Amino acid sequence: MSIDRIIATILSLSGIIFTYWFFLMKKESNAVSVTDHIKIIVDGGYTPSVIEVAKDKATTLEFFRKDPSSCLEEVVIPDFHIRQFLPLQQSTEITITPKEVGEYTFHCGMSMFFGKIKVV
């Protein structure tokens, strides 16, 4: 392999890494700020998947399940001891009052799709 081939390979690799990093960071900062209620669409995942809620304040998460797959029929928020069945084409409301600042994940019953609750 010649030196310019190696340089080209390194450049394209760092380009790929940068792209991944950029989009992951961007996704992270795209947290949706919630005042007291948010509707989360359950359809091949959670939209929005990263939300930001206030500490010591009751926040209602309205999960609207559009996805018929049994994979998403349950939502689990382990840190809040919540495991909730979501009927299809319906809203299910879950109210949480986080007592501590931090990041809490929620996921489907089989831990395949994830979302994050940031408490600030």
Min separation Cβ 107 and Cu ion, Å: 7
CA atoms within 13 A on the CB side of 78: 11
Min separation Cβ 108 and Cu ion, Å: 3
Beta carbon nearer to Cu ion, 8 or 71:
71
Give the list of residues 6+ apart from residue 72 with CB closer than 8 angstroms, or none: 42, 43, 44, 65, 86, 108, 109, 113
Min separation Cβ 70 and Cu ion, Å: 8
Matching residue, tokens 């998403």 = 72
Residues 51-80 that bind Cu ion (CB under 5 A): 71
Size of the site for Cu ion (CB under 5 A): 4
Contact call for residue 85 and Cu ion (CB under 5 A): no
Which of 95, 110, 114, 120 lies at the binding interface for Cu ion (CB under 5 A)? 110
Contact call for residue 108 and Cu ion (CB under 5 A): yes
Report angle CA 44, 48, 51 to the nearest 5 degrees: 140
CA atoms within 13 A on the CB side of 30: 10
Beta carbon nearer to Cu ion, 73 or 98:
73
Q: Measured in whole angstroms, how far is the alpha carbon of residue 14 from the centre of its chain?
A: 27
Beta carbon nearer to Cu ion, 117 or 119:
117
**Residues within the interface to Cu ion (CB under 5 A):** 71, 108, 110, 112
